[in-house]
Amino acid sequence: VEFPAVLLNTATGEIESEFHTYVQPQEHPVLSEFCTELTGITQTQVDEGVPLNICLSQFLKWIQKIQMEKKIIFSSDVPRSTSEAKPCTFVTWTDWDLGVCLHYECKRKQLRKPDILNSWIDLKATYKAFYNRKPKGLSGALQDLGIAFKGREHSGLDDSRNTARLAWRMMCDGCVLKITKSLDK
């Protein structure tokens, strides 16, 4: 019901761009009380949202715009012979959003999922390996490092911003972030 992404500049730690939209549920258009309590997303917000296919189209437009402006490339892009291109990849907290949720939703609805969403860094697995401890959720991982979670937990955009903050801190601590999951054949 929510599709957020943020662009983290790994040289400065700044979030340079954000994408956010609510996705209109098609099969079950009425949100459950559980969903609303967990995420803070209201029925009005999803009613005014867009279907998933429109969301993916808007997301790709955002990606293409920042690719041009910031000269970034994804591993799924055809290799470009420009030395100024900066590599970019997605970072998630667990494999759930891209590996399960979006993957099967697109399959079920027969939507073409953008190839750039087929590989990512699972920050939870990376955190566990780098610090050699099991975090108690995204908020717990931040807390372990003395960082307060900003915003509302389970709000997609707030979770994205906090995932970026955690990734930045881990890089500052010497962690090299590498793709942990790929659905590409």
For the domain that residue 103 is a member of, what is the CATH number?
Answer: 3.30.420.10
| pLDDT at residue 7 in the model | 98
Number of domains the chain contains: 1
DSSP letters for 40-76: ---HHHHHTSB-HHHHHHHHHHHHHHHHHHHTEEETT
Spatial distance between the Cα atoms of 121 and 9, rounded to a whole number of angstroms: 16
Q: What span, in angstroms and rounded, lies between the C-alpha atoms of 99 and 14? A: 26
Q: Tell how strand 2-8 and strand 15-22 pair up.
A: antiparallel
Range of the domain at 124: 2-182
**What confidence score (pLDDT) does residue 97 get?**
96
* CA separation for the pair 141, 134 (Å, rounded): 8
Q: Residue 132: CA atoms inside 13 Å, Cβ hemisphere, count?
A: 0
Distance between CA atoms of residues 155 and 14, nearest Å: 20
Q: What angle do CA 106, 107, 113 make, to 5 degrees?
A: 45
Mean pLDDT split into 10-residue runs, the chain, 185 residues: 97 98 94 96 97 98 96 78 83 97 96 95 98 97 98 97 98 97 84
- The confidence score (pLDDT) of residue 125 equals 98
Q: For residues 97 and 131, what is the distance between their CA atoms, to the nearest angstrom?
A: 23
Give the predicted TM-score (pTM) of the model: 0.95
